[in-house]
Amino acid sequence: MKTNLLFNKKTVFSFEVFPPKKNSPLETIYSTLRELGYFKPDFISVTYGAGGSLNGQTTIDIAHSLKHTYGIESVAHLPGINFDKAEMQKILHDLKCAGVDNVLALRGDISPNVQPKDDFRFASELVTFIKENGDFNVIGACYPEGHLEAATLKQDLLHLKEKVNAGTDQLISQLFFDNDYFYAFLDKARDIGINVPIEAGIMPVTNKNQIERMVSMCGVNLPKKFKQMMAKYEHHPEAFRDAGIAYAIDQIVDLVSQDVDGIHLYTMNNSYIARRISEAVSTLLAVPKSE
């Protein structure tokens, strides 16, 4: 099933997982999937490789298992910068053979360990190629506070419009910790004619090192109350974890109350955290969206 068809009078709730790192047992991810399946997410997306790995077959295998073993719709991430057109065509063929109908088209992060290729310099080029070479629902990424490489948020929105015009069917946002940034982004996106569903990406922060990495990689802003939470609990790991979960739940409650299209939870393969959050918001997600 194409996941863009799920956005019909309901708030979509989905997860992201990543394949195990090299030399880690593969069974760990399948154990996680079994546990996540209990919460009946609308779909689960699977990142491409782990730690810069290009072992995409693992991603395809996980996406196949999600759909055919666990009965959960799957989305496979595709980082265009690492592949030429012939390689990408084979990946699309393998995904279709695996019964995967949904892909997340990304330019991809430049890795010092992998020589980038030139066929897909922009995500919009990858979207066009996918639409020309397979019957896939194409998902794109968006950045409520702007992409780190964009000169301005306006420029970033124009690039996003190019992705949508190329055939992107729905969007998932990068994580953010201040919902006002997301609401302002939504207004600007709708104003320039971006009308596809946009899920809000939420990452529960459960340790101090995690937030430092996220700020460095994504450039997100930290609200005052978030910084106060970090300062109070940074030397108390369990309290920090629980405060981070509570903060994410608070974000989701507000977003769902505002009838956003959906919530995409970056689980970091942690089923305990996913369970805490899913149980807290399940009754909210069951309420139909306002007309």
> Are β-strands 102-106 and 73-79 bridged in parallel, bridged antiparallel, or unpaired?
parallel
Catalytic residue (one of 16, 73, 125, 145): 16
Rounded to whole angstroms, the Cα distance separating 259 from 197 reads 12
Longest dimension (CA), the chain: 52
Give the 3-state DSSP-derived string for 262-273, with helices as H, strands as E and coil as C. Answer: EEEEECCCCHHH
Three-class secondary structure of residue 56 per DSSP = helix
16 belongs to the catalytic site: yes
Q: How many residues does the chain have?
A: 291
Rounded to whole angstroms, the Cα distance separating 89 from 92 reads 5
Rounded to whole angstroms, the Cα distance separating 148 from 125 reads 20
CA-wise closest residue to 15 among 84, 62, 79, 69: 62
Q: Which residues are catalytic?
A: 16
